[in-house]
Amino acid sequence: MDDMTKVAPDVVEESGTGTGRTAAGREEREGRTARTGRGGIPEWATRRRVLFCAEILVSLAAALGYTLLCGRIDVNPMIRVAQVSGLAKMQQYAALLGIPILALLLYTAHRGSLMRHQLVKRLVCAALAGLSTGVVAGGVVVALNGTPWALGGQEGDPSVLIDMGTSFLRGEGVSGIYPPAFPALIAVWAKLRHGGTLGSGMALQDLQIFFTAIAGPMAYAAWRLLLRPFWALLIAVPSAVLFIDPIRPYSHGTMIVLLPLLGYWLREMRRAEHRTTRRNLVSGILLGLVFGALFLWYSGWYVWAAPGVGLLALFLFPWRGGARKVKATLVYIGATVATAAVVGAPLLYQMVRLGADNPDRYAFLSVYADPAYVLGWVSDRSGGLTYRTWPVSGEMAGQTGFTLLLLFGAGLGIGLGLRNIMVRTAAAVLAGAWLARFWFASHMVQAKAVQLYPRTTWIIMYCLMILAVLGLMVAVDRGSGWLERTVRPRSADGDGDGAPRGPVLPRCAVQQLSAGMVCVLALFATMGASWSVNRYMPDKDEKSMGVDAWRAHTLKKPNGTCPRFAPVKDCADVKIQNWKPTADRGYLWCGGLDPEEWPAVCGRRAPKD
């Protein structure tokens, strides 16, 4: 099990060494191996840090390169058949880029040396992680073709972000209790690239596309701290494609990265006694910087993750491990917490000062639906769905086949892999978020506040996905070990004739099967990314997710003219204004409802406005 959670595979000798080779030949081979590494690969290219950095670079290059390539797709995104043509062209690009690298993976699995295949597999998995969200970002490029403005135009949450960026440009600093890092980045990019306050909306478009594209690489890099390439890809791709929201990619990107980092931190906490005090301080400070930056980037996921992770950390703390172990662990924890608190101090101060005056009173479809449903998400633009028709009832006590399969996988993870630190982390976060969800939901009527509890849907579903993948990983690991012990047990001296016994499952068969599964996962990534992109194609219907792209095409460009494919003759003027806190109405605001539905759903009449 521990072997499957290493960042890089162990160096493995190639099989097939003969017994009649001369000493001179052996010395010559050893000298060549020292210069070129095993499998004909240069020695420097087998170092873990080099390989890890190479994976990140390949993944980012795939994501950003594909996104730039989609800028060549010139269709009118306001016409549905043109949208379909754009989606098809994107799939063509993905195939032209993906098929050759998958072919290389399959070739090395069947013909190449083990070391060469392992290297290719690393880089292919990294590239696929980048392509998965590169396709989503490329879809945003197609949807916004002809307009310089961001998804959302100057309505809804994008307008709030633009106003916050404008406030930063005018020197007003942190905006309430909202995480300030992304609005501040809007301000910086608007000043550097788009000429100041007028360019905040254009800066937001650039950042929406960029951070959507790199969501896959960042998720993959975070999981590679704990898992081998295939298993890291198996979590990173589905989660990034499913959860990423191009309108606010920084939000879900934080959640996807935060959980594996928490697992990594807990794992390193248990190893603190084996490091020097200086190394514990450096490791803690570096992780503290990351946690603090993520807190400023988007703080909401800390609320849901903190209860479970806090209790788990207390459970894992070496209370009876002796003074040396306790001291080393405290140094590591103290360095992390202190650094994170210093970095996150601006937002922490605002939360303490203004938190009680900023209740969340906005309700929408997910608030009206069954609170125990956590395997699907509907935004405040839910189309024709209502709480009477969503979620769709499944075959088994309302649960679908996907739900039962996911729960079965999570059961494998908890049952077989509880010693794995990431299994414990995901289970603890799930339990804490589950209790917090129902605490806030059960007090909603009395407090007249939602307190963002529907967002626990994402983190709970993410934890279930993590547990299911880790459960599958542990089952494969234990199953192969069981076969080795029972079907063809090894002996210290091999067979009676002196011949050593080989593995039950030939290594070549395992790597060929793994390569085939990577190909299937690549196909899922392109299909899932296309599904995600299709939702954001321009649509005039205000209850659809496509309305955000439609609004971006109805704003005047900086020169006063309409965008190239504007669906209206008279485009709206661009508003430049500072962010102002919304007045607290003191009651639930029930969005997505007709006025006559308010009494039955919200228990009061709809306000006149």
Residue 32: in which H helix or E strand, if any? helix 23-36
CA distance 176 to 178: 6
**Do the Cβ atoms of 135 and 530 come closer than 8 Å?**
yes
**Do the Cβ atoms of 90 and 492 come closer than 8 Å?**
no
Average pLDDT over residues 249-272: 96
Average pLDDT over residues 465-480: 93
Q: What is the pLDDT of residue 500?
A: 53
Q: What angle do CA 258, 259, 265 make, to 5 degrees?
A: 85
pLDDT confidence bin for 358, thresholds 50/70/90? confident
- Tell me what percent of the chain is helix, strand and coil, each rounded to the nearest 5: 65, 0, 35
Could you tell me how far CA 234 lies from the centroid of its own chain? Answer: 12
Q: How far is CA 403 from CA 207, 312, 374, 399, 453, in A?
A: 34, 26, 10, 6, 21
Side chain identity at 268, as an amino acid letter?
E
Side chain identity at 118, as an amino acid letter?
Q
Q: Two tokens at 199? A: 């360019």
Question: Nearest CA to 286 among 332, 352, 239?
Answer: 332
Span of 10-19, 187-196, 297-306, 349-358 with lowest mean pLDDT: 10-19
> Residue 590 forms beta bridges with which residues?
363
Spell out the alpha helix ranges (H) of 71-113: 80-110
Spell out the alpha helix ranges (H) of 344-420: 345-354, 365-368, 401-416
pLDDT confidence bin for 396, thresholds 50/70/90? confident
Residue 214 reports pLDDT greater than 50: yes
Q: What is the pLDDT of residue 205?
A: 97
Average pLDDT over residues 494-517: 72
CA distance 498 to 247: 65
**Do the Cβ atoms of 429 and 410 come closer than 8 Å?**
no
pLDDT confidence bin for 37, thresholds 50/70/90? low
CA distance 190 to 196: 5
One DSSP character per residue, 224-263 reads HTTS-HHHHHHHHHHHHHHH--TTSHHHHHHHHHHHHHHH
Residues 6+ apart with CB under 8 A from 361: 448, 449, 450, 584, 585, 586, 587, 588, 589
Spell out the alpha helix ranges (H) of 41-155: 48-70, 80-110, 114-143
Whole-number mean pLDDT of the chain?
Answer: 88
**Do the Cβ atoms of 150 and 202 come closer than 8 Å?**
yes
Residue 338 reports pLDDT greater than 80: yes
- Classify 358 as helix, strand or coil: coil
In degrees rounded to 5, what are phi and psi of residue 590? Answer: -95, 95
Question: Nearest CA to 601 among 446, 389, 447, 445?
Answer: 445
Q: What is the pLDDT of residue 26?
A: 44
Total residues found in the chain within this entry: 609
pLDDT confidence bin for 9, thresholds 50/70/90? very low
Q: Two tokens at 149? A: 């403005």
Question: Nearest CA to 119 among 235, 37, 60, 15?
Answer: 37
- Scanning the structure block, which residue is given the tokens 């993959």? 220
Q: What is the pLDDT of residue 8?
A: 39
Average pLDDT over residues 128-154: 96
CA distance 85 to 88: 5
CA distance 398 to 577: 48
Euclidean distance between the first and the last CA atom of the chain, given in angstroms as a whole number: 59
CA distance 128 to 452: 33
CA distance 568 to 551: 10
Q: How far is CA 35 from CA 116, 120, 428, 556, in A?
A: 16, 20, 47, 62
Residue 134 reports pLDDT greater than 90: yes
- Classify 113 as helix, strand or coil: coil
**Do the Cβ atoms of 329 and 272 come closer than 8 Å?**
yes
- Scanning the structure block, which residue is given the tokens 């950003």? 64
* Buried residues in 528-554 as b, exposed as e (16+ CB within 10 A): bbbebbebbbbbeeeebbbbbbbbbbb
Q: What is the pLDDT of residue 306?
A: 94
**Do the Cβ atoms of 371 and 437 come closer than 8 Å?**
yes
